[in-house]
């Protein structure tokens, strides 16, 4: 008797949630803004991922037609020495570690020269949080790069690095960002966000800036005219409400400032991180595609959602172009963060490769700059 009742309850629940999902997908297709209950319905769904993905594809195609953008860029990580202890990180080293490093300016300029050989128009610069580096190392780095490569777009320093610079100098976030702009900074990565839900954040990166500090620094940058990306690191120990909190905060900031250029979705790579032992099950490609679709549907005020090909591999990155993704990311040339966590999908794709991969998905490749101006 109890079993029959349970079956009945399950059946009614399925019909109810299925009807709810129909309404949410209808809303999304009609370009209506989804609310938190809608987001919860999408996240909780366990049986209709394909429909969610197809809807995201339609919404993306309405917004971006068949165009998929990419950037020819170079990543530079200037140090791997870091005194923080994020549990999802395989990149950080102590100063005593045999493979720790700090790049000097000549090494950084040399890497950019190598980038110029493939025609980069952006350099993306971040590093570990190294207490031994003084503020002038950061400020002068930007000045020297701009002096040597005036046309290059400098996309540098996460909110965590801005926080450290404010601490090192005693300056406000506004002043730190103003100095960087004067020296040649063009835009900033919105990394160090991970998941901004406060309780979860304490579990995965307790010594990083908190959610309020991240928001304050990002909105300060936006108000100073510095565009940033927005990111999410998902697929570890977060819950659906944690993801919902993160997406809602990011969407609200975009409403307020319009300063995000894109949303970059970063699936967690567990292999060489301490967090891996706490993760119940690793993400599968289909789970990732459903998340991409949900990001597209909920973040209606983002034109651009980016896949990270080093995190999921080239084949999955191509498939993601049918799941709401409209940006393939960059050539990168080097990628240390994912590689250090155990990712093995490489760190460089030529522009030619990217064009051909985008075409293989039936899409139209468009080269862009960092601010998503289409170049040709």
Contacts of 315 (CB under 8 A, 6+ apart): none
Segment contacting ligand SF4 (CB under 6 A): 46-54, 87-95, 271-279, 355-363? 87-95
For position 91 contacting ligand SF4 by CB under 6 A, the verdict is yes
Segment contacting ligand SF4 (CB under 6 A): 84-92, 280-288, 328-336, 344-352? 84-92
Joined tokens for residue 279:
């993760």
Q: Which is nearer to ligand SF4, 267 or 365 (CB)?
A: 267
CB of 203 to ligand SF4, least distance (A): 14
By CB under 6 A, name the one of 34, 57, 64, 128 that touches ligand SF4. Answer: 128
Q: Which is nearer to ligand SF4, 160 or 338 (CB)?
A: 160
Dihedral, CA of residue 313, residue 318, residue 322 and residue 328, to nearest 10? 90
CB of 206 to ligand SF4, least distance (A): 11
Segment contacting ligand SF4 (CB under 6 A): 89-97, 221-229, 282-290, 355-363? 89-97
DSSP for 132-200, written as a single string: TS-HHHHHHHHHHHHHH-TTSEEEE--HHHHHHHHHHH---HHHHHHHHHHHT--EE---S-S---HHH
For position 82 contacting ligand SF4 by CB under 6 A, the verdict is yes
CB of 273 to ligand SF4, least distance (A): 9
For position 237 contacting ligand SF4 by CB under 6 A, the verdict is no
Segment contacting ligand SF4 (CB under 6 A): 6-14, 16-24, 80-88, 253-261? 80-88
**Site size with ligand SF4, rule: CB under 6 A:** 10
CB of 174 to ligand SF4, least distance (A): 23
For position 149 contacting ligand SF4 by CB under 6 A, the verdict is no
Nearest to residue 206, comparing CAs of 89, 125, 101?
89
Nearest to residue 325, comparing CAs of 297, 288, 292, 279?
292
Q: Which is nearer to ligand SF4, 156 or 355 (CB)?
A: 156
HEC-encoded secondary structure of 19-66: HHHHHHHHHHHCCCCCCHHHHHHHHHCCCCHHHHHHHHHHHHHHHHCC
For position 84 contacting ligand SF4 by CB under 6 A, the verdict is yes
How far is 353 from 144, CA to CA, in rounded Å? 32
Q: Which is nearer to ligand SF4, 206 or 252 (CB)?
A: 206
By CB under 6 A, name the one of 71, 89, 250, 305 that touches ligand SF4. Answer: 89
Q: How many CB atoms lie within 10 A of CB 16?
A: 10
CA 48 to chain centre: 26
Residue 332 and residue 72 in contact, taking contact as beta carbons nearer than 8 Å: no
Q: Which is nearer to ligand SF4, 31 or 85 (CB)?
A: 85
**What residue ranges bind ligand SF4 (CB under 6 A)?**
82, 84-86, 89, 91-92, 128-129, 160
């Amino acid at each position: 008797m109890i079993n029959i009742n349970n079956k009945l309850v399950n059946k009614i629940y399925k019909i109810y949630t299925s009807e709810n999902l129909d309404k949410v997908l209808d809303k999304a297709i009609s370009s209506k803004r989804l609310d938190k209950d809608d987001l919860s319905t999408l996240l909780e769904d366990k049986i209709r991922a394909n429909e969610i993905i197809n809807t995201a594809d339609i919404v993306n195609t309405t917004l971006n037609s068949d165009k998929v953008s990419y950037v020819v860029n170079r990543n530079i990580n200037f140090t791997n020495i870091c005194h923080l202890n994020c549990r999802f990180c395989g990149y950080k080293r102590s100063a005593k570690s045999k493979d720790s490093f700090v790049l000097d300016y000549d090494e950084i300029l040399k890497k950019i020269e190598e980038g110029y050989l493939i025609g980069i128009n952006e350099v993306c610069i971040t590093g570990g949080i190294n207490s031994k580096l003084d503020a002038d190392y950061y400020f002068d780095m930007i000045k020297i790069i701009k002096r040597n490569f005036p046309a290059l777009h400098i996309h540098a320093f996460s909110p965590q690095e801005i926080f450290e610079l404010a601490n090192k100098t005693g300056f406000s976030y506004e002043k730190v960002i103003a100095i960087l702009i004067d020296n040649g900074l063009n835009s900033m990565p919105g990394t160090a966000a991970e998941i901004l839900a406060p309780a979860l954040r304490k579990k995965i990166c307790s010594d990083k800036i908190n959610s309020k500090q991240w928001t304050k620094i990002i909105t300060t940058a936006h108000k100073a005219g510095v565009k940033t990306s927005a990111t999410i690191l998902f697929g570890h120990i977060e819950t659906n409400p944690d993801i919902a909190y993160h997406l809602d905060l990011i969407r609200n900031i975009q409403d307020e400032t319009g300063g995000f250029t894109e949303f970059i979705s970063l699936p967690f790579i567990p292999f060489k991180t301490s967090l891996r032992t706490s993760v119940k099950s690793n993400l599968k490609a289909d789970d990732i595609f459903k998340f991409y679709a949900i990001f597209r549907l909920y973040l209606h005020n983002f034109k651009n959602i980016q896949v990270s090909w080093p995190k999921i591999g080239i084949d999955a990155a191509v498939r993601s172009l049918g799941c709401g993704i409209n940006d393939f990311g960059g050539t990168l040339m080097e990628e240390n963060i994912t590689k250090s966590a155990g990712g093995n999908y490489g760190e460089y794709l030529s522009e030619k490769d990217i064009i051909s991969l985008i075409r293989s998905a039936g899409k139209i490749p468009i080269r862009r700059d960092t601010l998503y101006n289409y170049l040709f």
